[in-house]
Amino acid sequence: MMTWEELEQTCKQCQGCPLAETRTHVVFGVGNRQADILLIGEGPGEQEDLQGVPFVGPAGKLLDRMLSLIDLDRTKVYIANIVKCRPPKNRDPLNTEQDACIGYLRVQTALLRPKIIVCLGRIAAMRLIDKDFRITRQHGQWFERAGVQMTAIYHPSAVLRDPEKGPDTFVDLKSIQEKVRQLCPDSLLPRPW
Ligand code: URA
């Protein structure tokens, strides 16, 4: 299997779909490569494209606050996206773009071997949990896939657009906190590395 470094180098040179033409940076992923918890968004927005780091724009600020509510932060989780390059005007990534890119996330997941995967929003949930996933009905539910516990919560951008999604999201975060306590309590400890 590839190493993290080989994968990141390959990914950063990718020309596998037309998003390569319009990107500023490939947004590979960020966080702890030893983490038991993997968070997956849909794709980079404007700030992410400019900086090359996931979830650094307005949605990212909210994501950081959501993590801190359950005693997590970027040193304790790994964060990636379904597509690594920004879709123009932040449109949903096309299926063809997802197909071209998903292999990178598969290798990231194989290297990380997370115990818990949290899909941020419907695009990631439809791709990774169930093609017919309904985020309004199924957010916060738990699914097991290949021995990994998976759930989806509303995308932080959706919560910013519609604050009425806040209370449900808080409940879902508490469920994630409980799952972390059960399956990987060490994830909550300070990480000096
Ligand atoms: N939205 C996403 O889905 N991913 C990011 O990295 C930023 C915003």
Q: What is the pLDDT of residues 162-193, one digit of tens each?
A: 999 999 999 999 999 999 999 999 998 887 66
Q: What is the torsional sign of CA 47, 71, 161, 96?
A: positive
| Chain Cα centroid distance, residue 136 | 18
**From ligand 1's centre to the CA of 127, what distance in Å?**
15
d(CA 193, CA 184) in angstroms, rounded, equals 17
- In degrees and rounded to multiples of 5, residue 158 shows phi and psi of -70, -35
DSSP type of residue 188: G
Mean pLDDT of 152-171: 98
The preferred substitution site among 28, 63, 64, 157 for testing ligand 1, maximizing ligand atoms within 8 Å of CB, is 157
State the pLDDT at residue 192. 67
Over the chain, what is the mean pLDDT? 97
**From ligand 1's centre to the CA of 42, what distance in Å?**
6
Q: Is 117 helix (H, G, I), strand (E, B) or coil?
A: strand
**Statement: residue 132 has pLDDT above 90:** yes
**Statement: residue 1 has pLDDT above 90:** no
**From ligand 1's centre to the CA of 78, what distance in Å?**
13
- Tens-place pLDDT, residues 101-120: 999 999 999 999 999 999 99
Reported as a pLDDT band with limits 50, 70 and 90, residue 45 is very high
**From ligand 1's centre to the CA of 81, what distance in Å?**
7
State the pLDDT at residue 190. 86
Q: Which atom of ligand 1 is nearest to the CA of 120?
A: 3
Residues near ligand 1 (Cβ within 6 A)? 27, 41-45, 48, 54-55, 59-60, 81, 120
| Pairing between β-strand 37-41 and β-strand 143-145 as defined by DSSP bridges | unpaired
- What is the pTM for the complete model shown? 0.97
Give me the helices (H) in 4-155, please. 4-12, 19-22, 46-51, 58-69, 95-112, 122-128, 135-138
Angle at CA 86, nearest 5°, toward 84 and 88? 150
